[in-house]
Amino acid sequence: MSSESPPAGEAFLEPVRGPQPRYRTWIRSSRLIVFAALSGLCLVATALAVVSPWFALFLVPFALFGYIALILALTVYRFSPRGGDFQRRIHELIVAKAGLPAASQALDVGCGSGSLVVKLAKASPGSTVTGVDSWGQDWEYSKDLCEDNARIEGVAERTAFFKQSGAALEFPDGGFDAVVSCLTFHEIGDVARKSDGVVEALRVLRPGGRYVFLDLFGDPAFYPSLDGVREAVGRADASIVEFGALADALPLPFPLRHPKVLGHAMVIVGVKSAG
Ligand SMILES: C[S@@+](CC[C@H](N)C(=O)[O-])C[C@H]1O[C@@H](n2cnc3c(N)ncnc32)[C@H](O)[C@@H]1O
């Protein structure tokens, strides 16, 4: 009998696992399902080439949709704990760069499932962290999900979640000691320029307060130039301490460094002018 065997008559007891938070990845499962289904349909159509050779043309969309589905599936894997936990590591990078002092008031614009809010609250004793999000149909996130996650993680009393648009936050100027945001500004639809979301987030930061924004700032489809982003930060009376590619701060494996995934992601860190 090995030294680790239980005494006769005693069974090993599995550790009791309480409810676990559900943060979900940034990839909508509906997107993955749609591309996998389209690729499968095209493959079936290709098999009809035995009837007419024209059906062989379906190989082209099969390859295209299959490639997209593969990239999406690998991305989900990389974001998950088994594939390196990159979604959690990106949030931890933001928390580290925010360096939130104890007993602060912080805001996360576009808080999704509450993951970053919870991590900030846990990293900074006595701090209160607020999360806002529009929680639209496109995402598998909700206010209830955020509140459940905060309760499970033991920070419900120090977190609050509100449905608001990042385009027009319902908070007075300068009310927060720190403002963070992760992959949200490019999603905000009701603004003339994506950088307007940056200006609005900085509006609610107090003079001397610190901000950390991660977004697709390097993607010209959303931000015509990096100078435009710098100009927006200046317009909001804030300075830039650091502005660089996410991949420089956290080496990204394939396919996360793909331009359609996080290849254009950049982190900007700075401080609101003291006035
Ligand atoms: C890629 S997800 C990122 C979620 C979260 N920041 C994270 O890191 O897990 C983009 C988020 O932007 C939110 N969003 C989209 N438009 C918004 C808006 N106008 N105002 C606030 N949030 C918005 C979505 O609901 C979604 O939660």
Share of the chain above pLDDT 90, in %: 83
Nearest CA to ligand 1 atom 4: 112
Instruction: Average the pLDDT over each of 2-11, 51-60, 144-153 and give the range with the smallest value.
Output: 2-11
pTM: 0.91
Residue 29: pLDDT band (50, 70, 90) is confident
Reported as type and span, the H/E element at residue 38 is: helix 29-47
Residue 49: pLDDT band (50, 70, 90) is confident
Checking if the pLDDT of 97 tops 50, the result is yes
> For residue range 131-190, what is the model confidence (pLDDT) as tens digits?
999 999 888 899 999 999 999 999 999 999 999 999 999 999 999 999 999 999 999 999
Checking if the pLDDT of 3 tops 50, the result is no
Residue 243: pLDDT band (50, 70, 90) is very high
Quick one: how far is CA 118 from the chain centroid? Answer: 13
**Of all atoms in ligand 1, which is nearest to the CA of residue 181?**
6
Exposed/middle/buried for residue 135 (C-beta within 10 Å: 0-12, 13-18, 19+):
buried
Q: In this structure, is the dihedral angle defined by the CA atoms of residues 243, 254, 138 and 28, taken in order, positive or negative?
A: negative
Orientation angle between helical segments 115-123 and 86-98, nearest 10 degrees: 50
Instruction: List pocket residues of ligand 1, CB cut-off 6 Å.
Output: 26, 110-113, 115-116, 133-136, 139, 141, 165-167, 182-184, 187-188
> For residue range 198-224, what is the model confidence (pLDDT) as tens digits?
999 999 999 999 999 999 999 999 999
What is the predicted pLDDT for the residue at 199? Answer: 98
CA of 134 to the centre of ligand 1 (A): 7
Quick one: how far is CA 13 from the chain centroid? Answer: 37
CB neighbourhood size of 26 (10 A): 20
Separation of alpha carbons 129 and 240, rounded Å: 23
Checking if the pLDDT of 11 tops 90, the result is no
What is the best residue among 133, 135, 162, 262 to mutate for testing ligand 1's pocket, by most ligand atoms within 8 Å of CB? 133
